[in-house]
Amino acid sequence: MKNTILTFCLLVVCMLCAAQTKTYQSWNKVASQRAGVLNINYFENFPYAFADPNGNHMGIEIDIIKEFQHWLATYKGVEITLNYQKYDNFNTFYTGIKDGGNGQIGLGSVTIHEEREKWAKFSEPYLKNVAVLVSALEVNNLRSMSEFAEVFQDRVALVVKGSSHEEQLLDIKKKYFPEMTVSYAENPKEMLMRMKEDPHYFGYVDIITYMAFTEEQGGLLRVHRTADIDGERFGFVFPPNSDWNTIFNEFMVGGFGFSATAEYHAILDKYLELNVIQEVQMQ
């Protein structure tokens, strides 16, 4: 009897371990079998990718992935299962994709960047981005970048390690404020909460992240629009050995492109205000 119980317990443990193990399948294999698994590695960041209180995966990026899943079933006759893996730290997420295997896609509001293209494959862009400089309301409005050191004297810049904002902030430090102190946060929401709680901090966040935070918390922070950084494009990211980027880009650019579809605009309408949509939507 004891042996039977022990065997049963071991079987349960093995099943749980197997359920937590990623299945890495190339697109070629999935296409030939007409079914398979795609691992979705997402950096939790509302409203790009997150889970609601009931555990349902949602957000701009996740909804686009679900449209891709539907497109594969409708136009390619291929049924895929989406296997979600959440990351709370951007740098860990970033490394996981860089060192990952074929059969996964990264959702992390990742800026398509020449340096990153040396080690990863990107989709066509799905969103434009404007990075905005945010601080406490009591900080004087920045009228010119030449005033940066004066306005933010004795304050600490926050940034997420490994993000494109880190590079941009360090460039500003070099050009305008060599004495600037830089501190790191796990994610953009942590940055904004620290700014809300302590006027000592300031930093760059995506305009969408800022919009979502102010809707949740109220208009408690100042945006210095003189320091806007635009021209960025967000894309989905694949490991360097992936073959999924080809079929995903077919989905993104086929016809007039996914950004021209009603489905794309419905996703933006679901999560964003009209004034933000006008700044970030792909044309």
What's the whole-number mean pLDDT along residues 129-154?
95
pLDDT of residue 3 exceeding 70, the answer is no
Query: Which backbone phi and psi does 171 adopt, to 5 degrees?
Result: -70, -40
Question: What mean pLDDT comes out for the span 200-218?
Answer: 91
Model's pTM, two decimal places? 0.83
Q: What pairing do the DSSP bridges indicate for beta strands 104-111 and 221-238? A: antiparallel
- Looking at residue 227, what is its pLDDT? 96
Asked if 26-126+233-280 and 129-232 have one fold, the answer is: yes
The more confidently predicted of residues 118 and 262 is 262
Contact 89, 187 (CB under 8 A): yes
CATH placement of domain 26-126+233-280 = 3.40.190.10
Q: Where are the alpha helices (DSSP H) in the chain?
A: 2-20, 27-33, 60-71, 90-98, 148-151, 164-176, 188-197, 207-217, 244-253, 262-271, 274-280
d(CA 17, CA 173): 47
- Percent of the residues in the chain that have a pLDDT greater than 70, as a whole number: 92
Using the predicted structure, report yes or no on whether residue 220 has a pLDDT greater than 90.
no
Q: Any idea where the domains of the chain sit in the sequence?
A: 26-126+233-280, 129-232
pLDDT at 221 (0 to 100): 93
Q: Please provide residue 158's backbone torsions phi and psi, each rounded to the nearest 5 degrees.
A: -105, 145
Q: What is the mean pLDDT of residues 188-194?
A: 92
Q: How far is residue 203 from each of residues 70, 166, 176, measured CA to CA in Å? A: 38, 10, 15
Please tell me the least confidently modeled range out of 19-23, 219-223, 278-282: 19-23
How far apart are alpha carbons 158 and 145 in whole angstroms?
A: 18
How far apart (Å, rounded) are the C-alpha atoms in residues 1 and 90? 48
Extract the tokens encoding 140. 């004087």
pLDDT average, residue stretch 196-205:
94
The answer on pLDDT for 150 being more than 60 is yes
- What is the C-alpha to C-alpha distance for residues 171 and 177, in angstroms, rounded to an integer? 9
Arithmetic mean of pLDDT over the chain: 90
Eight-state DSSP code of residue 34? T
What Rg do the C-alpha atoms of the chain give, in angstroms? 21
pLDDT for 21 equals 58
pLDDT over 70 at 207, yes or no: yes
Convert the pLDDT of each residue in 79-91 to its tens digit: 999 999 999 988 8
What average pLDDT does range 138-154 have in this prediction? Answer: 96
pLDDT in tens, 27-83: 999 999 999 999 999 999 999 999 999 999 999 999 999 999 999 999 999 999 999
Q: Binning pLDDT at 50, 70 and 90, where does residue 16 land?
A: very low
Superfamily of domain 129-232: Periplasmic binding protein-like II (3.40.190.10)
HEC string for 231-250: EEEEEEEECCCCCHHHHHHH
